[in-house]
Amino acid sequence: MNWEVVIGLEIHTQLSTKSKLFSGAAVGFGAEPNTQTTLVDLGMPGALPVFNKEALRMAVMFGHAINAEIGMTSVFARKNYFYPDLPKGYQTSQMDHPIVGKGYLDVMLDDGTTSRVGITRAHLEEDAGKSLHEDFQGMTGIDLNRSSTPLLEIVSEPDIRSAKEAVAYVKMIHSIVTYLGICDGNMAEGSMRCDINLSLRPKGQKEYGTRTEIKNVNSFRFIEKAIYTEIERQADILEDGGRIIQETRLYDPEKNETRSMRSKEDANDYRYFPCPDLLPVVLTQEYVDNIKATLPELPSQKAARFQSEHALSEYDANVLSSSRAMADFFENANNVVKDPKLTANWVMGELSKLLNQEQLDIENSPVNAQAFGELLVRIKDNTINGKTAKDVFQAMWDGEGSADAIIEAKGLKQVTDTGAIEAMIQTILDANAAQVEQYRAADEDKQKKMIGFFVGQVMKASQGKANPGLVNPILAKMLKG
Amino acid sequence: MSIDKQDVQKIAHLARLALTETDADQYQHSLSSVLALVEQMQSVNTDGVEPLSNPLEMTQRLREDIVTEENRRDAFLANAPQTEAGLFLVPKVID
């Protein structure tokens, strides 16, 4: 049978505040266990939460970025469940009145089409602590540093129809929250985690099938793979006439399979109710409007501007605006060389190649945007050709200095003196008299192919320093005789 | 509306409370009377009344995003029955 997949995503993004959502403890990854906790985070009786202003501002900012209604009155609720890394016995979250209401995102797919994904809501909640199941005298160790870390949970509508679309959507959320500066986007450290709700239905059927939820997937690649394996698993069951059990599953990247985490008997009954320790959060229109005024240029706006202002292709504009760091690098380098196409080619080409090779983020590029721009200037003004520039770039990457210093030290300056080039060509023509004879006897099409040999000889003789833009016409003229 | 013994045991399980048979009988009775009271209250006409999330007619105060607390791990861990390597130890939760 032909199945249609229906996917909805819940993305937890950790907000980059300095202190916790409800306490004055520091937020940070990798601190010694339990050194960033307070009585509030430990759930001590009588300890009262106080709401972090900055977390509120970040949530409202996100709401604006996805064209959402902002919850002018939002209410915190208790989500009750028992687990040792949740000492209070409930997670403070939001239920009926979230801070961010309905919104949407237009997601650009690989084939260039756009699809709109509805966002049901985004709500503020606190993270739980961490359970360490390694053997501590046969017991479980609890680290509460992460307890009360602010999260914004972004819940999509079941609008997504493929693994590729899901990944494109998550990448877009990732790019928005990092553009806004409200999340560091570090998926490996858990700053962004994704729950995947997935079901299948026969193509053309209106009703949704029974769904499963795959918890806590934390990389773009795993999201894609988890979806493919879960589609396959559900399709196999349905094709055999079986039924899907509604349950929570876990994706195991090593075995590339999903497996059941909780059976239905244990289905959670969270008994949400308004948190009596926190009052309703009431916003003024002025507050909401002021935050809107501070929104930075978002990825889609930046991509549009790159096309109109820099005449880049849609593809280039999308790639370059996909992360704020890459967009900034491109713009800063381009400010130096003032040649957007050349800059785009080099950022997406050589720079990305070396970054990938060494698995570096562009923020940590050993060559900064200014220095990179200076290298491009030397290509643009014909001091060096593109091939030499790659060697210069590698030398810059290895810390040998600026583009100009390397060109000078290695004597890489292009020969642009036409007299010198003519003399060089003459020597080559004299040394290859037979080839010159053949060339002159050949027809025009053949000549076009044969000229490559002479260009090669000239470049070799000049050690790559002859300017190809000059060599070609002079060579063609001299070959004519 | 009344609840049966199974409901009582389920609620107790969600709250991780162990009830004896006698306890369960007693709670079935008292919880049912609470529900009866709620049922009585539901006869009040609440058309046009906004649901109340907090009885105080106030809104939430906000805190500046500043780290104000220091590391007091030793004091906190001192209250725990068992600790190791800076961690609280609890009975094993997964096999």
- What's the pLDDT tens digit per position in A101-133? 999 999 988 787 889 999 999 999 999 999 998
Number of domains in chain A: 3
Residue B1: which pLDDT band, with cuts at 50, 70 and 90?
low
Shared-domain flag, residues A315 and A273? no
Distances (CA, A) of A29 to A186, A228, A480, B19: 11, 31, 70, 41
Cα–Cα dist A82/A62, whole Å = 31
Q: Is B94's CB within 8 Å of A140's CB?
A: yes
In-domain check, residue B76: no
Check residue A266 and give its pLDDT. Answer: 53
Which of these three, A367, A387, A410, is where a domain ends?
Answer: A410
Chain mean position to CA A113: 19
Which of these three, A289, A308, A338, is where a domain ends?
Answer: A289
* A17, A144, A276: residue with CB nearest B54: A276
Shared-domain flag, residues A30 and A131? yes
* A18, A82, A280: residue with CB nearest B67: A18
DSSP assignments along A279-325, one per residue? --EE--HHHHHHHHHTPPPPHHHHHHHHHHHH---HHHHHHHHSSHH
- For residues A175 and A184, the answer to whether their CB atoms sit within 8 Å is no
In-domain check, residue B47: no
In-domain check, residue B19: yes
Task: Give pLDDT tens digits for B63-86.
Answer: 999 999 999 999 999 999 999 999
In-domain check, residue B10: yes
pLDDT higher for A463 or A238?
A238
Shared-domain flag, residues A395 and A364? yes
- Taking CB atoms and an 8 Å cutoff, what residues of chain A touch B91? 139-140
Shared-domain flag, residues A363 and A425? no
* A25, A80, A280: residue with CB nearest B54: A280
Question: Which of A136, A143, A146 to mutate: most B Cβ within 10 Å?
Answer: A136
Percentage above 90 pLDDT, chain A: 72
Check residue A267 and give its pLDDT. Answer: 55
Give the contacts of A132 (CB within 8 A, at least 6 positions apart): A140, A141, A142, A143, B87
Q: Is B63's CB within 8 Å of A56's CB?
A: no
> Given a cut of 90, is residue A180 above it in pLDDT?
yes
Number of domains in chain B: 1
> What mean pLDDT do residues B49-69 have?
89
Check residue A265 and give its pLDDT. Answer: 47
At residue A393's C-alpha, the angle toward residues A389 and A394, to 5°, is 120
Shared-domain flag, residues A181 and A209? yes
- For residues A424 and A476, the answer to whether their CB atoms sit within 8 Å is no
The whole domain housing B12 covers 5-41
> Given a cut of 50, is residue A268 above it in pLDDT?
yes
Check residue B92 and give its pLDDT. Answer: 87
Check residue A54 and give its pLDDT. Answer: 98
- Closest residue, chain A, to B13 (C-alpha): A82
> What mean pLDDT do residues A354-362 have?
91
Shared-domain flag, residues A322 and A190? no
Shared-domain flag, residues A21 and A80? yes
> Given a cut of 90, is residue A433 above it in pLDDT?
no
CATH number at A431 reads 1.10.10.410
Q: Could you tell me the maximum CA-CA distance found in chain A, to the nearest angstrom?
A: 99
DSSP class of A266: G
pLDDT higher for A175 or A413?
A175
Residue type, A10: E
| Residue A349 phi, psi dihedral angles, 5° rounding | -95, -100
Task: Give pLDDT tens digits for A270-328.
Answer: 999 999 999 999 999 999 999 999 999 999 899 999 999 999 998 899 889 988 899 99
Give the contacts of A467 (CB within 8 A, at least 6 positions apart): A382, A385, A414, A415, A416, A421
CATH number at B13 reads 1.10.20
> Given a cut of 50, is residue A351 above it in pLDDT?
yes
Tokens, residue A279? 């009052």
> What mean pLDDT do residues A194-215 have?
95
Q: Is A144's CB within 8 Å of B88's CB?
A: yes
Which of these three, A256, A289, A322, is where a domain ends?
Answer: A289
Shared-domain flag, residues A83 and A119? yes
Check residue A44 and give its pLDDT. Answer: 93
Check residue A209 and give its pLDDT. Answer: 95
In-domain check, residue B78: no
- Taking CB atoms and an 8 Å cutoff, what residues of chain A touch B56? 279
* B53, B67, B93: residue with CB nearest A274: B53
Q: Is A51's CB within 8 Å of B61's CB?
A: yes
- For residues A13 and A123, the answer to whether their CB atoms sit within 8 Å is no
Shared-domain flag, residues A406 and A427? no
Shared-domain flag, residues A349 and A400? yes
B15: distance to nearest CA of chain A, Å? 8
Residue A174: which pLDDT band, with cuts at 50, 70 and 90?
very high
Q: Is A32's CB within 8 Å of B86's CB?
A: yes
The whole domain housing A453 covers 418-480
Number of A to B CB contacts under 8 A, please give it.
124
> What mean pLDDT do residues A143-161 have?
97
Q: Is B66's CB within 8 Å of A24's CB?
A: yes
Shared-domain flag, residues A232 and A187? yes
Q: Is B92's CB within 8 Å of A138's CB?
A: yes
